Amino acid sequence: EPEVTQTPSHQVTQMGQEVILRCVPISNHLYFYWYRQILGQKVEFLVSFYNNEISEKSEIFDDQFSVERPDGSNFTLKIRSTKLEDSAMYFCASSEFGQGGNEQFFGPGTRLTVL
């Protein structure tokens, strides 16, 4: 069964450093998303991406965040200068255009720890 994959599973970084979180969505999916979940809290939407551009973003997704689809398979989230409060689990998800439920399939997540 196809699945969304994410790398790395755990990333530790120093405050102020740049990190890139990688995702490989399901191959025939057209919509891609990033979410974050601070430990013990709810899942928060960051951004959705379609047709090589951002289609929606939340207020969390400020100038320090960016997303890119550098090739036909990867979807990345870059945090330019990490802060302590960026420590969270980051989930990538993808969905297929036009499906009734527009079900999002989530990846296993990348746990980001900012020291």
Partner 1 sequence: AQKITQTQPGMFVQEKEAVTLDCTYDTSDPSYGLFWYKQPSSGEMIFLIYQGSYDQQNATEGRYSLNFQKARKSANLVISASQLGDSAMYFCAMREGNPNTGNQFYFGTGTSLTVIP
- Judged by the rule CB under 8 A, the positions of this chain that interact with partner 1 are 31, 33, 35, 41-45, 48, 50, 55-56, 58, 89, 91, 93, 97-109, 111
CA 15 to chain centre: 19
CA distances from 49 to 30, 35, 75, 84 (A): 8, 12, 9, 26
> CB of residue 115 vs partner 1: minimum separation in angstroms?
20
Between 5 and 74, CB nearer to partner 1: 5
d(CA 66, CA 75): 11
Which of 74/106 has CB closer to partner 1? 106
Q: Which is nearer to partner 1, 81 or 113 (CB)?
A: 113
- DSSP code per residue over 96-107: -TT-TT-PPEE-
Least CB distance from residue 103 to partner 1, whole Å?
A: 5
In angstroms, what is the minimal distance from the CB of 81 to partner 1? 25
- Minimum CB separation of residue 97 from partner 1 in Å reads 7
Nearer to partner 1, 72 or 101 (CB): 101
- The terminus-to-terminus CA distance of the chain in angstroms comes to 37
Burial of 50 (0-12, 13-18, 19+ CB in 10 A): middle
